[in-house]
Each structure stands twice: as structure tokens, then as C-alpha cells.
Structure 1
Amino acid sequence: MRARLALLVAAVSVLIVIAFLVPLALLLRTAAEDRATVRATADAQSLAPVVGAADAETVRLTVEQLAAESARPVSVFLPDGTVLGSNATRTPAVELAERGQSLTAETADGREVVIAVQGRTDGTTVIRTVVPRAEMTAGVGRAWLVLALLGALLVLIALAVADRLARTLVRPISELSEVSHRLANAELDARVSPSGPVELREVGGALNHLAGRIQELLVHEREQVADLSHRLRTPLTALRLEAESLRDPQDAARVIDAVDGLERAVTGLIRQARWRTPTDGTVIADAATTVADRVAFWSVLAEETGRAVDLDLAPGPVPVAVAADELAAALDALLGNVFAHTPDGTPFAVRLRAVGDQVVLTVTDEGPGITADLVRRGASQAGSTGLGLDIARRAAQASGGRLALGERTGGGAEVELWLGRA
């Protein structure tokens, strides 16, 4: 924008300079020609009294002296055909002047000035002088150079003023852009200092109002989530008490373990809702340990539903740039989809391997398969909430990875969770 404004001002300034300086330059040239012609005419007229009354010798001496002083050819044509002074032929202008008419005519060498002198007894005498082109244009080139420099100076001054004015426009726009990017990066305390024209100040004020409103809505949302999470404490406590009252110790331990996992998830949700801050990339979890723990948890349910579990883990530790509870939630979402969308007895496999600077967690099953359009928050083709794959996707993206869906060779679904290594 700044460059375009400068270009626009430069174009307008050049057009204005040309519109004024070109006619002025032509006027200067015309004035120089007229000034030289007037001098030559005055010199020629100064000879008229001598030519009209003196003898031929006196006229000759006077003409030669004037020619030497003016550095112009001066000729006097007497009625008897004698030419005194500079040798010259009778031109049409001279022949016309012999009839009593003084005039000025253009020639190839310059401008011809002829003056008819009457009063001699032998007829009309003609004084002729020629103004050379060099004399007519003397000083014109220097004047044109001065005008060109003046025009260039005016254009530079206009550009400097335009650049300063453009900065007063560009600086507020740049600040608006910077603050909008900061807001996009979750810096909700970023604000604009309204400046510049009235319109830009209004936009800055509107952006500040929008940022404040977004901050208020997020705070309200987090408080609502935290309040809902706190309300879950009571049924969780009741569920724990019911689990502890089970007679079978194994069933009680399994249910209590599930309640503990749910309580950890609720605690993490409360903490995330109340004190959510941008990640600094220092969160590290051991993927091998987390995956082993969650597969062990789901293996109990797999045994009850007749599902074979194949676990293949890379030798640990396998550090990844994601929190352990987020990785556990992502894997729970993937395994939960297996149990929810495949019939009982469908085997599944979990594999963890390192690939370069990333770690790949793969979950496959021999069910009906899954399509890529399910990786969208709230989208589902099986009656679920559609949030499971979105949770896994966000966990992968938070670590610098991605979620990939595909078809397993031989049928079934294959979900790959690419995680950035820590």
C-alpha cells in the first residue's frame, strides 16, 4: 500500500510538473528569440540616421564598426546596388524592404531583420542584419536544465511528503494486522492503540471491542465447563462407593480403576477450562507406557466381548510432545470407536513405532471400516457424538503431528496417530 501510494503521487506530480514546465520552457525559448531580435533591430535602427544622411564611406565605416561590436553580419544595400558591410545577396526580404517596408523573416541561418531607410535623394536604402540561431537560443539550455532540476526536486519533495502520509496510514493498518494475528494465537489481552484517520480509529476500536467480547465469552464458557465438571464429582463419588461395595474384589478393582480414570479426566478438564494457557512445547509423555496402560485397561472389556488384542510396542521409553492424559484420551477415543462400531468378537491391534522424528500409533480392526469424512467435530455416521476422532486429531496436531484414516489390507479400519517426538 505504501509503495502504491508513492507511485500514485509520483505519477500525479510528474504530470503536474510536465503541465507547468513544458509551456514555461517554450515561453523561455520564445522570450530568448524575441530578446535577440529586439537587440538586432535596435542595432540596425541605430544606423538609420547615418545611412540616411552620410556619404558612402562614412556609412561603410559605421557598418563595419557595428558588425564588429555585435558579432552579427550587418549589410547596407544602397539604391545604386552597392552593398556596404558584410557581403550578402539580395533576399526577397531585402527586395520587399526596398519598396519602403521594414520586416523580419526566418532564414536557414537564423532570423533576418531588414529596415527600409527613406530620405536619400537617390532612393530607399535597406539595412539588413541576421540574428544567428546561437544568439537566439543563448541561455535557453541552461534555463531548461534549471527547470528540469526544479521539477525533479518538486517530485522528490512530493514523494517524501507522500511517504510520510502513507506511513500514517500503513502503521495503524500494520498494528491492526499484528493484533489480529496475536488474537488468533490466543493472546486475548492484545489490544490496538487507535490512531490514524477516523475510519482506521473506528476499526481499531471495533477490534478491541471484539477481542474483549471474545475474552468474556471464553471466560464464561470455561466457567460453564468447570461448573459442569464439578457437578460430576457427586455421581463419581457415589459410583466409587458403589464399586467399593461390590463383593467380588476383581470386579470392584476394575470398576474403581475406571472411576479413577474418569475422575482424572474430569480433573484435567477442570484444570484446562480454568487455567488454559498456550503450550510452550515442553509437555512430554512416554508413549510406550501410556499405550501399554490403556491397552491393558481395554483388554478386560475385550476379553468379555470375545475380541483378540494384538499389541506391538516399540521398546521404551518413547517420549512424545503431548501430555500423558491427552494421549490416553486420544487412544481411549480410538479404542472406544472400535468397541462401539464393530460387532463383538472383532479382533483389533495396537502398534507403536518410531518413524524419523515422529512416533506413529496405529489402531486397526477387522470391522466394516471408516471414512475420512468422520474426522470432523460433531460428525458421525453411527449415531455417536462424533467427538472421538476429533479428540485424537487435536492431540496429534498439538504435538506437531496429524491423524490419518485408511482401509486395512484385507478389510477393516486403520487409524494412524502421528505424534511429534519430544
Structure 2
Amino acid sequence: MRRRFVLVALAVGALVTLAWAVPLAAVAYHSTRTQVLFQAERDADALAQYAQTTTDPAELRKALAAVPAERQSRLGLTLPNGTTIGGGRHASEEDFLRARVNHGAITVSTPKGTSYLTAADGVVIEGYVPSATLTHEMRTAWGLPALLGLVLLVIACFVASWMARGAVRASEELAFAARRLGAGDTHVRVVPGGPPEIATAGAAFNEMAERLRILLANERELLADLSHRLRTPLTALRLNAEALPPGLERDRVLDAARQTEHELSSIIEEAREPLHDVEPARCDIAAVAADRTKYWAVLAADQHRAWRGKGLTGQVPVAVGRADAASALDTVLGNVFQHTPPGTAYQVSVLAGEDRVRLVVDDAGPGIGTPDEAMLRGVSGGESTGLGLDIARRVAESTGGALTVGPSPLGGTRITLAFRR
């Protein structure tokens, strides 16, 4: 913004400078040229008056010597017999003859300057002004206006920069606050200042930030309340499971209830924590996939589902937290169990690339007729909420990756979660 202020001031200053500098330069050119030529004419006329009293070469040389040294070389006297005294001849022979015959003064242009010719008793006096002398005098005359114009432009730029300081500072503070708000600091505010437009924008930013803080706080509190309400049916489920006869079925239900209770507690704690910046989390996606497939294997055995894992060994780090990665994979596997009939096989694969890691879940179910609709938040072809794949997609995109849905080599659906390494 400051640069634009300076550029505008520079443009306006340049136009104003041109408006007075060009006419002033023209006047200076005409005045300087007239002054230089007038000096040459005056010197030549003075010698012509002296030549009317004597044509003796010695006396004429003395008269020429009385002229200041810097102008002597530009004066020349041509006697009737053709003898030249002084700076030589620059005008043509025709011009000399015309001046001698007419006994008058003429001004003529020469290849390298301007000559003023006047005659007295057959003696022709030439006052010569070289073009180089005129050019030098012009540069001297134009130097002051040019310097003055340059000084005015510098002053205009300095004043514009100083005047823009308030607007620039207010804009920078507003931009800094916007970046902090985008990073999660909902308590950031600005002091409205600068030009009225920027001050209005600052006040609007403060209102928006306060409204956003309230909305986020209400949303997180609502999430915590909803999660807390789920504890009651989970507690009843756990108590009912504890009443079952000892055995594998009882242990499986209890483990599932305890894990769900633990996840709900984590959600409540996270929702009630104030928003703050955190360092990007990382995890071993192969280890997460191995752990979650082991968890789902119990239910797969109950439903007689064949499954296999591929690439679930070794360390494959990705730029996502372990909890988020596990939640995304649980969501996709939960869809397999919910939307395919019992006995449907599935496969979980971890495919590592140079900058991306793909977590692929294939099933042999009936497939998804409209993959694009399955990606829409809140849209479901079954009785679910339609939020599962959207949650998994946001986890993948938070790392710079993506979620894609397509046909599977097993005959059903392939869901691919791509994570940045």
C-alpha cells in the first residue's frame, strides 16, 4: 500500500513538474540564446565603430585585444584586402560579400554555429557563437529547473510515504490479526485505526472474531454434552455385558464398551480444552492399521468374513495423529460391516510411495452405485448419518492428501485414504 501511495505521489509530482518545467525550460532556452547572441553582436558592433575611425591592422589588433579573453576567439575582422585578424572566418564568402556591399548587419547560420556580420569602411567584423557554446549555456540554464523538479519529486515521495504510514500500519495489524485468527486464536483483537475505511474493517473484524469465538465455544460445549449423554446407554450396555456368563462373547462386548467409553472421554476432554496451536502429529500408519484390523477381526470372525492385511508390517510414518488415523480407518471398516452382508470378504492394504502413503480398504460387497454422493456430508444411501466418509476425508485432507472411492478388484468398493509422509 505504501508503494502505491508513493507511486501516485510520484506520478502527480511528475505531471506538476512537467507543467511548469517545460515552459520554464523553453523560456530559459530562448533567454540564454538571446543573451549569448546579443553579447556577440555587441562585441562586433563595438569593433565596427572603432573600425570607422581607423583601418590600421595594428590598431584593430589592439582593439580586439581589449575584448575579454573568453570572447576574443569568437571575433574576427576581415580587411578589404582579405587579411583576417582574430578568430578566423566561419561564414561563407557570399555572406561576407553581402555584409560589405550592404553596409549592414546580418545573422547567418553556419555548419557549427551562428555568425553575426557587420561592416564598416570595408572591414567586415564577424561575431561567432559555436553550437557547443550554446549547448553548454543551455545545460547550465536547464540545470536549476531540473534539480528543483527532482527535489520536489523526492519531497513528494517522502510526504506520501509518511502519510501512508498510518494506513499501512493499520492494514498490517489487521492482516496479522487475521492470520492469528486463522491459526485458532479466537481472542485476538485489533485497535481500529488508520483511514476510516480500514478502521471500519478493523471494527468489523473484532465483531466477527467475537462472534466466531462464541459459536466455536457453543459448538464445542454441545459436542461435549452430546458425548456425555452417550455415557448413560454405554454404562447400561457395560452393566448388561458384565451380567453375561463368563466367556469370549462377554469379554468381547466388555472390551468394545470400555474402548467406546474411553473414546467418548477423550472427545469430551478435547472439546472442553481451549483452542490452541499444536505441532503437526505423526504416526506409524502400518502399526495403526495392524492394531485396528486386529480389533475388527473379532467381529469379522462372528460374521464369518474372510479378511487379509497387506503391508501392515514395518514402519510407515505419515503426517497425521494416531487417534485421527485410527478413527478414519475405523470409519471405513465400520462402513464395510454396516453396508455389506455377513460373510463379505475385505482387505486392508498399506501402500507406501515417495511422498504419499495410501491406506486402501477393499471389500467384495455389492459396491456403491454413486461414489460422488457417498462423499457428500450428511448423505447416505442407508440408515447411517452419512458423516463417516466425510470425517475420514477431512483426516486425509488435513495432511495434504485425499480420499477416493472407486470399484475394487474384489468386486465391491475400494476406499483409498492418501496421507502425506
Range class of TM-score, shorter chain: 0.7 to 0.9
**Mapping of residues 18-417 of structure 1, within 5 Å:** 18-43=18-43, 56=54, 64-70=61-67, 71=72, 73=75, 92=98, 105-108=107-110, 110-112=114-116, 114=118, 129-134=125-130, 139-165=137-163, 168-247=166-245, 249-275=247-273, 276-282=275-281, 284=283, 287-288=286-287, 290-312=288-310, 314-315=312-313, 322-352=320-350, 355=353, 360-370=358-368, 371-372=371-372, 374-398=374-398, 401-417=401-417
Q: How many residue pairs end up in the alignment?
A: 402
Are the counterparts in 2 of residues 63 and 84 from structure 1 also a CA contact under 8 Å?
no
Question: Displacement, 1:407?
Answer: 1.9
Unaligned runs of 5+ in 1: 117-124
2: distance between equivalents of 1:30 and 1:49? 28
2: distance between equivalents of 1:137 and 1:230? 93
Identical counterparts, % of pairs:
37
TM-score for the superposition, normalised by structure 1: 0.76
**3-state secondary structure, aligned to 1:378:** coil
More moved, 376-385 vs 83-92: 83-92
Question: Displacement, 1:415?
Answer: 1.9
Are the counterparts in 1 of residues 99 and 124 from structure 2 also a CA contact under 8 Å?
no
Are the counterparts in 1 of residues 399 and 419 from structure 2 also a CA contact under 8 Å?
yes
**3-state secondary structure, aligned to 1:406:** strand
Question: Displacement, 1:222?
Answer: 0.8
Are the counterparts in 2 of residues 44 and 128 from structure 1 also a CA contact under 8 Å?
no
1: distance between equivalents of 2:171 and 2:2? 11
2: distance between equivalents of 1:399 and 1:74? 92
1: distance between equivalents of 2:285 and 2:50? 122
Which string of whole-angstrom CA distances, capped at 9 and with x for unpartnered residues, describes residues 148-184 of structure 1?
4444444444444444555554444344333323322
1: distance between equivalents of 2:316 and 2:41? 106
TM-score for the superposition, normalised by structure 2: 0.76
More moved, 265-274 vs 363-372: 363-372
Are the counterparts in 2 of residues 265 and 325 from structure 1 also a CA contact under 8 Å?
no
In the alignment, what sits opposite 1:119? Answer: none
**3-state secondary structure, aligned to 2:343:** coil
Are the counterparts in 2 of residues 176 and 192 from structure 1 also a CA contact under 8 Å?
yes
Question: Displacement, 1:246?
Answer: 3.5
Which string of whole-angstrom CA distances, capped at 9 and with x for unpartnered residues, describes residues 95-135 of structure 1?
5556xxxx66344352526599xxxxxxxx79964432236
2: distance between equivalents of 1:233 and 1:260? 11
Quickly say closer, same or farther: Cα 1:110–1:193, change in 2 above 3 A.
Answer: same
Which string of whole-angstrom CA distances, capped at 9 and with x for unpartnered residues, describes residues 27-61 of structure 1?
22322332234445555665788778x5x568x77
Question: Displacement, 1:347?
Answer: 1.6
In the alignment, what sits opposite 1:121? Answer: none
Give the letter for the 1:265 counterpart.
Answer: E
2: distance between equivalents of 1:396 and 1:151? 62
**3-state secondary structure, aligned to 2:187:** coil
Quickly say closer, same or farther: Cα 1:64–1:283, change in 2 above 3 A.
Answer: closer
Are the counterparts in 1 of residues 77 and 123 from structure 2 also a CA contact under 8 Å?
yes
Question: Displacement, 1:297?
Answer: 4.2
Question: Displacement, 1:62?
Answer: 6.3
Quickly say closer, same or farther: Cα 1:190–1:126, change in 2 above 3 A.
Answer: farther
More moved, 274-283 vs 333-342: 274-283
* Superposition RMSD in Å: 4.0
Unaligned runs of 5+ in 2: none
Question: Displacement, 1:336?
Answer: 1.6
2: distance between equivalents of 1:399 and 1:76? 98
Quickly say closer, same or farther: Cα 1:357–1:97, change in 2 above 3 A.
Answer: closer
2: distance between equivalents of 1:410 and 1:233? 38
Which string of whole-angstrom CA distances, capped at 9 and with x for unpartnered residues, describes residues 227-260 of structure 1?
2222222232233233333356544433333322
Are the counterparts in 2 of residues 281 and 321 from structure 1 also a CA contact under 8 Å?
yes
Give the letter for the 2:408 counterpart.
Answer: R
